[in-house]
Structure 1
Amino acid sequence: MNYSLFSPILSTIQYHQFIAGLFGGIISPIRGLQGLYGGVTSNVVGNGISLGLYLFIYNTIIVLNNDQDKIKNLTFYYRTIYSTTAGLLTIILTNPMWVIKTRMCLQYSNNKTAITYNNMFDAFRKTYQSEGITAFYKGLTPGLVGIFHGTIQFSSYEQMKSFYVNPFHTTYFLTSVVFTFSALSKFIAATSTYPIQVICTRLQDQHQNYNGVLDVIKKTYKRKGISGFFKGVVPALYRVIPASCITFVFYEFILYELKHGII
């Protein structure tokens, strides 16, 4: 089962909880079952490109700045620097895709004058025509702060691996170990940076008008208090933790095979 095809349902529920939190109600289903798959294409493409870019940049930086011996003994400090740099470049390059994904998920308005999108390419075209190129970088400022999500996840994941390697003297990781480390690191990263994601999503929502990050924070806190910054966190965790586990299992498998010259 391709988890990316299921995760848009949880993404849509998660984003709808964000918006429902603003108005104190639940957004009624107006698009049926199809609405649960809003943004499926941009979600699959966005996740693939983002993770692929992140891992490529992260590993490229490590290889270019260290010899083989140093790579085996990277400190937590350098892991943090490398993962932050990779996250920064990835967010800048992929922000337009996440704007489109958010807007595809949040097509809930009954207003006949509201812009509707037929598919990902239609969303790109209409967004550019109505708002220009700057629309694709809405939410970028809090998104740049959100690079710490990747930093926290990768740094903690690599640190857990180091704690495992030292006593067991092995570079081979059982699937259960990878699942555990990836789930824990993703949980820590997702929960600690979740308010930033809420702010980004609300800035990117085509149905709302905010005067920047501070305006979002002020209005969200005024309406729902601290809990408003954690709306949708449960479906978000159900979405990202299994995806992270599956991704890291394949990531570690491919790394192991490449290092041993099998593939």
Structure 2
Amino acid sequence: MALTTKFLLLVISLLCSVDAYKILVVISLPGRSHGILGEGLVRHLTNAGHENMMSKRADINSMYVMIDLCLEVLRSTVANHNVQNMLRDPTQKFDVVISEWLYAELYAGYMSFWEDNYYKKYLVPYIKNKPVPTFEELKYNASLMLGNSHISLGEAYSLPQSYKPIGGYHIETDVRPLPKDLKVIMDNSLHGVIYFSMGSNLRSEHFPEKLIRRFLDIFAELKQTVIWKFEANLSDIPKNPILTACSLFRTVAFCLRRNQSTSEFL
């Protein structure tokens, strides 16, 4: 009887066992939209019980300087003290690496054209005494690719089995209630609400004054209440718009906004 009980306990414990991975998440660019996707991925993995490591902020002072931006991102990321501590810690081991498919080759190493040839010819054949694939081969040999797309956003097309569309995964399902002042505005709007935002990368306050006034004139003619995401104070504005899950979601049609809009309507 005791043996049977122990056997049943063993079977039950095996059925309930789970494997948690230690995952390194690499987001190549510090843009807000890229961060939203990275944070959404880490949130789901963390909720599933995995241990994740992801750098939250890149120390880049100006995003307006686009010349050599990728190299500057590379230098800033590698020089980050958290990244340096991870690279120098011999105890750090990861079960999975999830990398953004955008400029990921920047982190393959610092080498010139000639150094790369010497490396492949004289060092690679002797690494761990086994064949080492080139970076070009590795780029097209991903075990799994997670794509920010969904069948509801376009036409159906065939995909390889290693590609999984997960578009909209960054959208939080736990929706917070609207602030009281915003809820009052929306509830009292007889003709609905238009929300106007330039997204996370563009700021309305940087528009030329003439363009801002043109938008104000257009919004003033609409019967719907317009809520404009504006980052500064304006003078001499009409009652509509109001500068501060709407009846109409009007914003810049970047990929994340499109996914969120589709999710709201579905």
Task: Give the TM-score band, short-chain normalised.
Answer: under 0.3
Larger Rg: 2
Higher relative contact order, structure no. (Cα contacts within 8 Å, ≥ 6 residues apart): 1
Which structure has greater strand proportion? Answer: 2
Relative to the length of structure 2, the TM-score reads 0.22
Relative to the length of structure 1, the TM-score reads 0.23
